[in-house]
Amino acid sequence: MSTKVIALANQKGGVGKTTTAVSLSACLAKRKQNVLLIDLDPQANATSGVGIDKEEGASIYSALLGEADVRTLIKPTETKRLHLIPSELDLAGCEVAIARMDNYLHCLKNALQPIVDQNEYDYILFDCPPSIGILFMNALYAADSIIIPMQAEYLALEGLSVILSLIDQVRDAGNPKLRIEGIVMTMCDLRTNLAQQVVDEVQNHFGDVIYETLIPRSVRLSEAPSYGQPIIQYAPISKGSMAYMKLAKEFLKRQQSAPSA
Ligand SMILES: Nc1ncnc2c1ncn2[C@@H]1O[C@H](COP(=O)(O)OP(=O)(O)O)[C@@H](O)[C@H]1O
Ligand SMILES: [Mg+2]
């Protein structure tokens, strides 16, 4: 199989993108997949989440501008088979620089080509920034598919329609093969009626695109980043860890069956 490139994206902040990117990457690595996580958010939460210190000039910025080979930016992490291209604050400024380039929506895709050609990774996962800027659009142009983390809360569906129409636009404008890999419901507190109603509503609306695995709200998941450890290392038998392991299993099972929407 060739390297599959997946964007974890939702234009809303605080919905569990980074938590899902870090946790799912680590769980896939645990299941013997070679994973490259690319932190595209200037806030660099995925970088610190896997225990890598921010370092000036270490982000993908230089590769986006065509000034560095992206392969020189890859760092191993404490988790076996999980590698990272970190982020740091300079990524915030890169939008302006990229905007001046020809083909400015394809910078990330072009930069990643040497890695994809090498076929060394099973999956490349992007942790996307929460705003619809040039970096975010580059992620959608470079991706084969998108996983949408979504918080089980009031008006969740409205936010979803924004990202869905964006996907349609990107399909029309230059990445026709972009698929929805799946929607993950995060921070579910199923003891509340509201969360259950949202889950039901989203399931009715989107059916099989929603992962069956629901990610519960868990204090351990919110603590893990400050220890620089993915949840499966920080609290392997917690309910958050078990949920993400289950998600990884479901994700891999889907790879073998029918393609997603
Ligand atoms: N399932 C969960 N249970 C409890 N806290 C969570 C959970 N998922 C995420 N969080 C916390 O919620 C906040 C936002 O999550 P994060 O993954 O950073 O979202 P995003 O990347 O979409 O902004 C973080 O403080 C994170 O630790
Ligand atoms: Mg984030």
| Residue 204: Cβ-neighbour burial (10 angstroms; 0-12, 13-18, 19+) | exposed
Atom 13, ligand 1: residue with shortest CA distance: 14
pLDDT in tens, 10-63: 999 999 999 999 999 999 999 999 999 999 999 999 999 999 998 888 999 999
Q: Is the distance from CB of 25 to CB of 37 less than 8 angstroms?
A: yes
Atom of ligand 1 nearest to the CA of 41: 21
pLDDT in tens, 166-225: 999 999 998 999 999 999 999 998 788 888 888 888 888 888 899 999 999 999 999 999
Q: Looking at residue 3, what DSSP letter applies? A: -
Atom 26, ligand 1: residue with shortest CA distance: 222
Q: Which ligand is nearest to the CA of 22?
A: 1
Going from N- to C-terminal start, the domains of the chain cover 4-255
* Å from CA of 14 to ligand 2 middle: 7
* Å from CA of 190 to ligand 2 middle: 23
Strand partners for 4: 123
Q: Which ligand is nearest to the CA of 129?
A: 2
Atom of ligand 1 nearest to the CA of 224: 27
Q: Is the distance from CB of 129 to CB of 42 less than 8 angstroms?
A: yes
- Assess whether pLDDT exceeds 60 at residue 261: no
Over pLDDT 70: what percentage of the chain?
Answer: 98
pLDDT in tens, 126-137: 999 998 899 999
Q: Looking at residue 227, what DSSP letter applies? A: G
* Å from CA of 20 to ligand 1 middle: 8
Longest dimension (CA), the chain: 52
- Assess whether pLDDT exceeds 70 at residue 259: no
- List ligand 1's pocket residues with C-beta within 6 A: 13-19, 45, 130, 186-187, 215, 217-218, 221-222, 225, 240
4-255 folds as Rossmann fold (3.40.50)
Q: Give the rounded distance of the alpha carbon of 259 from its chain centre.
A: 19
* Å from CA of 126 to ligand 2 middle: 10
